[in-house]
Structure 1
């Protein structure tokens, strides 16, 4: 028989978790006023300080906002669904990076900030996916993707040196249309990608880059992009704030 298991989180964390789920799934839409502190105290059987701690957590996550003399209101919205497949095709000639053009379709402002370009010894799982020998190296391009100036995704993308060497990918600057467009021009069009998505405790780098509130996990995607003949041309680690975004996949059934 399985042993009994209980939620050992503090009371304010449990309350915040319940309210957060109602907000992110749309049951408490933006502009909704939350019940008063006394009402929440009675609903959950806790003290006022516990309720205030729960509300503070959600304010720090920018899901709630307090209006003096009026109450506490839902500031956030349902999680934004991001469909990875729309970003995979190379941009057309003269067109911007698809992160920017797709954001524009949603009336958002997409932008990116290039953080680092360097030849590195990649993490083990990246090296294996790229088929590198022990101590093999790859090109790393690290950037932050933003929506309406809000950091959305920390992207660490690795490329085989034999593809990147001598190209604009090696330079500390953005590439018009993004690396998929450049790789396509070089004769390596993206044909397929494989995603492994997990929820993980963020590293310090991810917390700072994504401006995460305390104890918020990240949604981590490990992505391998293949070209013709199943040749891996890019392996990426993509970290998103788990409370703001969700992944949307539409997959035809064979």
Structure 2
């Protein structure tokens, strides 16, 4: 099979300001333009992209809406300090040191100088989405307990979290109560006799739903990262399935592997 030459590749049909924002976004996210760095001047960007001042400003407006840069028209545009945060999924599986220990992700955020809080939106029994039901080995009409939260970092919406639990585990426990759980659910599940033994993540990039777009304060059509995490206890029993949604351009997932 012969691959097409660069001249034969289809042209990027996106509007020019979208293409300019895409190239600058890549410079920001790969570290070429680090936190606190000034973006090139409008004059430089006009020459680089063969664009008008209005088109360049429209591109910079996209990056501002995406919370990657700050600045006003006529002044320097600066890369924000926390342009992209690193999430280590393995950290959330371990139980806290005690029932009074803070959530692991709160501790991690504080360690990086950020202020993180969670808001519990609802707790109820419901039929979970099909992929969640499959992960939990539930029948199509079986119900599970839902705990729905919105996480904020430094006052900005960061992640929507929907966690589902088997009713025979959750009923009559703190999971079913409309309040935060001290030490997090790994600690509680371990205390109930279901210690987390294995976590399996399925991560995909998707265009946000209307609710996700609104709740996460998104101002562009960039994809979100959707993680479906299934937590297994002894005998590989699924005890928790969580759907986590966050802005794809503001977060990266870090997984570490060791050779067998």
Is residue 9 from structure 1 mapped to residue 22 from structure 2 by the alignment? no
Question: In the aligned structure 2, how far is the partner of 1:22 from the partner of 1:77?
Answer: 15
Q: Residue 160 of structure 2: which of 130, 149, 154 is its match? A: 154
Question: In the aligned structure 1, how far is the partner of 2:25 from the partner of 2:42?
Answer: 16
Is residue 24 from structure 1 mapped to residue 29 from structure 2 by the alignment? yes
Question: In the aligned structure 2, how far is the partner of 1:12 from the partner of 1:165?
Answer: 53
Is residue 102 from structure 1 mapped to residue 108 from structure 2 by the alignment? yes
Q: How does the TM-score come out when normalised to structure 2? A: 0.92
Give CA-to-partner distance per residue, 1:168-216, whole Å, 9 cap, x none. Answer: 1111111111222111100001000111111100011111221112212
Is contact 2:225–2:248 with CA below 8 Å preserved after alignment?
Answer: yes
Is residue 44 from structure 1 mapped to residue 53 from structure 2 by the alignment? no
Equivalences, count: 254
Aligned-pair CA distance for 1:242: 0.8
SS of residue paired to 2:21: helix
Deviates more, 1:219-228 or 1:44-53: 44-53
Q: Residue 67 of structure 2: which of 62, 71, 79 is its match? A: 62
Ranges of 4+ aligned residues in structure 1 off by more than 6 Å: none
The CA RMSD over aligned residues, in Å, is 1.6
Is contact 2:41–2:76 with CA below 8 Å preserved after alignment?
Answer: yes
Q: Who is 2:189 aligned against?
A: 183
Question: In the aligned structure 1, how far is the partner of 2:74 from the partner of 2:15?
Answer: 29
SS of residue paired to 1:71: coil
Question: In the aligned structure 2, how far is the partner of 1:7 from the partner of 1:96?
Answer: 47
Q: How does the TM-score come out when normalised to structure 1? A: 0.94
Aligned-pair CA distance for 1:2: 6.4
Question: In the aligned structure 1, how far is the partner of 2:49 from the partner of 2:81?
Answer: 23
Give CA-to-partner distance per residue, 1:76-104, whole Å, 9 cap, x none. Answer: 54521110111111112221222222222
Query: Any stretches of 5+ residues in structure 1 without a counterpart?
Result: none
Q: Residue 216 of structure 2: which of 210, 213, 232 is its match? A: 210
SS of residue paired to 2:71: strand
Q: Residue 198 of structure 2: which of 169, 192, 195 is its match? A: 192
Is contact 2:149–2:160 with CA below 8 Å preserved after alignment?
Answer: yes
Q: Residue 93 of structure 2: which of 65, 80, 88 is its match? A: 88
Question: In the aligned structure 2, how far is the partner of 1:252 from the partner of 1:182?
Answer: 29
Question: In the aligned structure 2, how far is the partner of 1:235 from the partner of 1:38?
Answer: 51
Give CA-to-partner distance per residue, 1:233-254, whole Å, 9 cap, x none. Answer: 0111100111111000001121
Question: In the aligned structure 2, how far is the partner of 1:106 from the partner of 1:37?
Answer: 33
Question: In the aligned structure 2, how far is the partner of 1:67 from the partner of 1:235?
Answer: 43
Is residue 79 from structure 1 mapped to residue 84 from structure 2 by the alignment? yes
SS of residue paired to 1:128: helix
Is contact 1:99–1:111 with CA below 8 Å preserved after alignment?
Answer: no
Query: Any stretches of 5+ residues in structure 2 without a counterpart?
Result: none
